[in-house]
């Protein structure tokens, strides 16, 4: 009777330890390489965009007077529906605003990456989970319309931790820990309800797939019809129809929330995500991918349907405020995560046709992730891929040859365009002087996404896939060598504290202010909150709250009309481009806007023969604080 031969090396614990150590070293090296790519690809935004509003809401928790006097919070806002602000305020109190925002941004991104690894590990294998995690890190996660929103943004808002919590809940559900998944999803819901809602719905549909049946679809339609009927005939906030004036202001401020404003490429973005998930379902045959994919598509399609109805026919306040188009972020994320799984499955099949179809699907994503294409070609190509994968058995050898030739031609065309863009960027002489020119050009090329994806694959192949110590060591040395010139600039970028360092310089201004009256500082609204501890009079950022409050909308419109002598238009509060076109301040225009008792002070670079305080040297040296009371001979 023969027995299997067991070699001495297989029995040796040192051999096992060596393999485990080599594998660990490969994973650590790859993780460090991903951090390098992420540092180059994701440039920290600080207090850009919505980060200003979330920072202000947290500051208002530490300075309660702002919550009752500032326009953004005075009549209620999204802050009423989250625990995020209190947690953020605690970090600000102990670390300072800039440090708290930067630290929580890094933690949220790392948390999402770890959750992505566990999700990918459940959908495929540990080896490929590393590749999928890297691709998710570098591919821009746009969803919705006009490129306004992305998951994993580079500035800190409640969306970041809500996304991390939602992905964690999905990972737990895939691990059959559904009870714990629901608890985490509930915590995400308390953090940012709009971002967490689709995650919760996906969990429920994944756990109870019978909810996708026609009976429950009919019940959903009846419930939706009931909401519209209540809003129309028995209105009670928030189930009311937006009146025409309120709706017009919301549309002017946040046009991207309405489906009738969307471009063809915006619809193409959502359809590409849906179709990519369907392709993954069809090509892998995985029951887990099928259940998770169909659940996410059902939620995403429902969100778009509700958005379309509320945009064209029934502007119910609750639906518009709920922004169900955001439900597509889960699909956008899963599409990026499932695309490599589908491609790997097709490639490992050794079927020439399936490989050609996978190449065509990858090509469909190039215009979406590499440049702002105005032609919606992604979803038609993805739809063709699904049709081909379903009809694969009917394709004879002749048609397979044509398919391969077509896929190669399309891929070559797309790759040539990306290569041309990369060469153009590499030859640019423009520099921001913020970092070495070589690093700037590398950042520009990697921003095309496809080079970043290719680099991610190369790093994964050289470490986790190859399992060769020499290639892992080489990758480690390259990573360290590139970190050296990047680290100083990255550190400065993530630790800049412009407002906190300038706070002491504005002591005289703060002493001169009545903090119950608003300050109009069109060039720097966050400075009003963070340097002067005062409410801001009006800005584009503050007008974001009009969708949640009819009173806020009315007050924004009134203040915009008050400011017309200075701004020259009533669209000041709704359009960022108009916000930047402030007219010349004169004594007459200052007197006109100061007629509003809510406005106490105006900050401008214009030198007028009126009592004022001069800004401190440096960034704010040219600013002057004017007192509305000085026009009535009551200057301090």
Residue-wise pLDDT tens digits, 190-224: 999 999 999 999 999 999 999 998 899 899 899 98
The answer to whether residues 158 and 54 touch, using CB atoms and an 8 Å cutoff, is: yes
Report, as an integer, the average pLDDT of 475-481: 87
CA–CA distance, 572 with 416 (Å, rounded to integer): 43
The dihedrals phi and psi of 213, each to the nearest 5 degrees, come to: -70, 165
Percent with pLDDT over 90 in the chain? 58
pLDDT at res. 14: 59
Report, as an integer, the average pLDDT of 67-78: 84
The answer to whether residues 379 and 463 touch, using CB atoms and an 8 Å cutoff, is: no
pLDDT at res. 7: 45
**Residue 442 confidence (pLDDT) above 50:** yes
pLDDT at res. 500: 82
Number of neighbours of residue 553 by Cβ within 10 angstroms: 24
- Confidence category of residue 635, pLDDT binned at 50, 70, 90: very low
CA–CA distance, 122 with 125 (Å, rounded to integer): 7
The dihedrals phi and psi of 503, each to the nearest 5 degrees, come to: -60, -45
Task: Please name which of 146, 121, 145, 113 lies closest in space to residue 42, comparing C-alpha atoms.
Answer: 113
pLDDT at res. 12: 63
Orientation of helix 214-233 relative to helix 287-312, angle to 10°: 20
How many H-runs (helices) and E-runs (strands) does the chain carry?
A: 30, 6
Three-state secondary structure of 214-281 = HHHHHHHHHHHHHHHHHHHHCCECCECECCHHHHHHHHHHCHHHCHHHCCHHHHHHHHHHHHHHHHHH
Report, as an integer, the average pLDDT of 115-141: 95
Between 122 and 50, whose confidence is greater? 122
pLDDT at res. 144: 93
pLDDT at res. 576: 53
Report, as an integer, the average pLDDT of 610-618: 89
**Residue 3 confidence (pLDDT) above 70:** no
Residues, the chain: 636
Q: What are the beta bridge partners of residue 601? A: 519, 627
Between 64 and 584, whose confidence is greater? 64
**Residue 9 confidence (pLDDT) above 60:** no
**Residue 373 confidence (pLDDT) above 70:** no
3-state helix, strand, coil in the chain (%, to 5): 70, 5, 25
CA–CA distance, 138 with 485 (Å, rounded to integer): 21
Calculate the dihedral angle through the C-alpha atoms of 83, 85, 91, 95, rounding to the nearest 10 degrees.
180
The dihedrals phi and psi of 531, each to the nearest 5 degrees, come to: -105, -30
Number of neighbours of residue 532 by Cβ within 10 angstroms: 21
CA–CA distance, 369 with 359 (Å, rounded to integer): 16
**Residue 332 confidence (pLDDT) above 50:** yes
Calculate the dihedral angle through the C-alpha atoms of 324, 329, 330, 336, rounding to the nearest 10 degrees.
150
- Conformation bin of residue 152: beta by default, left when phi > 0, alpha when psi is -120 to 50: left
**Residue 624 confidence (pLDDT) above 70:** yes
Sign of CA dihedral 9, 11, 15, 16: positive
pLDDT at res. 268: 94
| Three-class SS state of 333 | helix
- Confidence category of residue 110, pLDDT binned at 50, 70, 90: very high
Q: In degrees, to the nearest 5, what angle opens at C-alpha 634 toward C-alphas 628 and 636?
A: 85
**Residue 582 confidence (pLDDT) above 50:** yes
β-bridge pairing 624-627 and 612-614:
antiparallel
**Residue 437 confidence (pLDDT) above 80:** no
Report, as an integer, the average pLDDT of 585-594: 90
pLDDT tens, position by position, 149-159: 999 999 999 99
CA–CA distance, 327 with 199 (Å, rounded to integer): 8
CA–CA distances in Å: residue 44 to residues 204, 372, 472, 614 = 35, 21, 29, 31
**Residue 585 confidence (pLDDT) above 70:** yes
CA–CA distance, 137 with 154 (Å, rounded to integer): 12
pLDDT at res. 573: 60
Between 442 and 329, whose confidence is greater? 329
Residue ranges of the domains in the chain?
Answer: 505-632
Number of neighbours of residue 427 by Cβ within 10 angstroms: 8
Residue showing tokens 């394709």: 395
pLDDT tens, position by position, 288-303: 999 999 999 999 999 9
CA–CA distances in Å: residue 257 to residues 48, 51, 251, 302 = 20, 19, 8, 15
The answer to whether residues 490 and 463 touch, using CB atoms and an 8 Å cutoff, is: no
Q: What is the maximum span of the chain, computed from C-alpha positions, in angstroms? A: 111
Q: Which of 320-329, 331-340, 417-426, 461-470 has the lowest mean pLDDT?
A: 417-426
Task: Please name which of 393, 359, 360, 389 lies closest in space to residue 280, comparing C-alpha atoms.
Answer: 389
Average pLDDT, the chain: 88
**Residue 634 confidence (pLDDT) above 70:** no
User: What Rg, from alpha-carbon coordinates, does the chain have?
Assistant: 28
Q: What are the beta bridge partners of residue 46? A: 155
Q: Which residues contact 120 (CB under 8 A, 6 or more apart)?
A: 128, 129, 132, 133, 337, 341
Number of neighbours of residue 569 by Cβ within 10 angstroms: 13
- Confidence category of residue 258, pLDDT binned at 50, 70, 90: very high
Q: Which residues contact 543 (CB under 8 A, 6 or more apart)?
A: 253, 556, 573, 574
pLDDT at res. 405: 94
Q: Which of 124-133, 176-185, 397-406 has the lowest mean pLDDT?
A: 397-406
Name the most confidently modeled range: 420-424, 542-546, 593-597. 593-597
């Amino acid at each position: 009777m023969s027995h299997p031969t067991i070699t001495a090396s297989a029995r040796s614990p040192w051999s096992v330890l060596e393999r485990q150590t080599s594998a660990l070293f490969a994973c650590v090296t790859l993780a460090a390489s991903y951090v390098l790519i992420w540092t180059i690809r994701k440039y920290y935004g600080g207090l850009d965009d919505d980060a200003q509003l979330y920072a202000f809401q947290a500051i208002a928790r530490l300075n309660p007077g702002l919550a009752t006097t500032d326009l953004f919070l005075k009549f209620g806002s999204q802050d009423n529906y989250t625990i995020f602000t209190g947690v953020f305020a605690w970090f600000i109190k102990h670390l300072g605003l800039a440090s708290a925002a930067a630290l929580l941004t890094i933690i949220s991104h790392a948390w999402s990456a770890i959750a992505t690894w566990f999700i990918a590990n459940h959908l495929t294998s540990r080896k490929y989970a590393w590749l999928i995690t890297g691709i998710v890190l570098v591919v821009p996660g746009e969803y919705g319309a006009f490129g306004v929103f992305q998951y994993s943004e580079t500035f800190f808002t409640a969306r970041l931790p809500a996304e991390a919590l939602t992905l964690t809940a999905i990972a737990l559900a895939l691990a059959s820990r559904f009870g714990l998944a629901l608890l985490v999803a509930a915590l995400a819901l308390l953090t940012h309800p709009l971002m967490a809602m689709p995650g919760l719905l996906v969990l429920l549909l994944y756990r109870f797939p019978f909810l996708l049946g026609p009976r429950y679809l009919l019940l959903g339609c009846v419930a939706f019809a009931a909401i519209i009927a209540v809003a129309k005939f028995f209105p009670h906030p928030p189930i009311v129809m937006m009146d025409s004036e309120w709706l017009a202001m919301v549309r002017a401020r946040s046009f991207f929330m309405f489906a009738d404003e969307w471009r063809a490429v915006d619809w193409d973005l959502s359809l590409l995500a849906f179709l990519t998930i369907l392709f993954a379902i069809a090509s892998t045959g995985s029951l887990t991918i099928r259940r998770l994919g169909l659940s996410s598509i059902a939620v995403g399609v429902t969100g778009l349907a509700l958005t379309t109805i509320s945009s064209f026919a029934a502007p119910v306040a609750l639906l518009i405020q709920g922004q169900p188009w955001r439900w597509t972020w889960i699909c956008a994320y899963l599409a990026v995560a499932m695309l490599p799984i589908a491609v790997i499955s097709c490639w490992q099949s050794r079927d020439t046709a399936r490989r050609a179809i996978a190449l065509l699907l990858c090509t469909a994503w190039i215009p979406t992730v590499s440049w702002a294409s105005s032609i919606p070609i992604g979803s038609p190509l993805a739809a063709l891929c699904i049709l081909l994968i379903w009809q694969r058995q009917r394709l004879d050898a002749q048609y397979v040859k044509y398919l391969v030739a077509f896929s190669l031609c399309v891929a070559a065309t797309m790759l040539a365009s990306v290569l041309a863009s990369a060469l153009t960027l590499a030859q640019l002489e423009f520099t921001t002087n913020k970092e070495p020119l070589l690093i700037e050009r590398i950042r520009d090329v990697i921003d095309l996404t496809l080079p970043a994806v290719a680099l991610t694959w190369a790093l994964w192949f050289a470490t986790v896939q190859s399992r060769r110590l020499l290639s892992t060591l080489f990758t480690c040395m390259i990573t360290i060598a590139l970190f050296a010139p990047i680290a100083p600039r990255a550190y400065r970028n993530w630790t800049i504290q412009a407002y906190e360092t300038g706070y002491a310089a504005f002591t005289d201004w703060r002493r001169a202010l009545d903090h119950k009256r608003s300050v109009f500082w069109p060039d720097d609204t966050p400075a009003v909150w963070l340097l002067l501890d005062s409410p801001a009079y009006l800005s584009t950022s503050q007008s974001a709250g009009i969708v949640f409050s009819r009173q806020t909308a009315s007050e924004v419109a009134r203040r915009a009309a008050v400011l017309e002598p200075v701004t020259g238009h009533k669209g000041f509060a709704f359009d960022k481009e108009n916000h930047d076109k402030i007219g010349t301040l004169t004594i007459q225009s200052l007197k006109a806007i100061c007629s509003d008792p809510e406005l106490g002070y105006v900050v401008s670079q214009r030198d007028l023969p009126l009592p004022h305080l001069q800004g401190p040297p440096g960034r704010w040296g040219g600013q002057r604080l004017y007192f509305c009371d000085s026009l009535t001979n009551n200057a301090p």
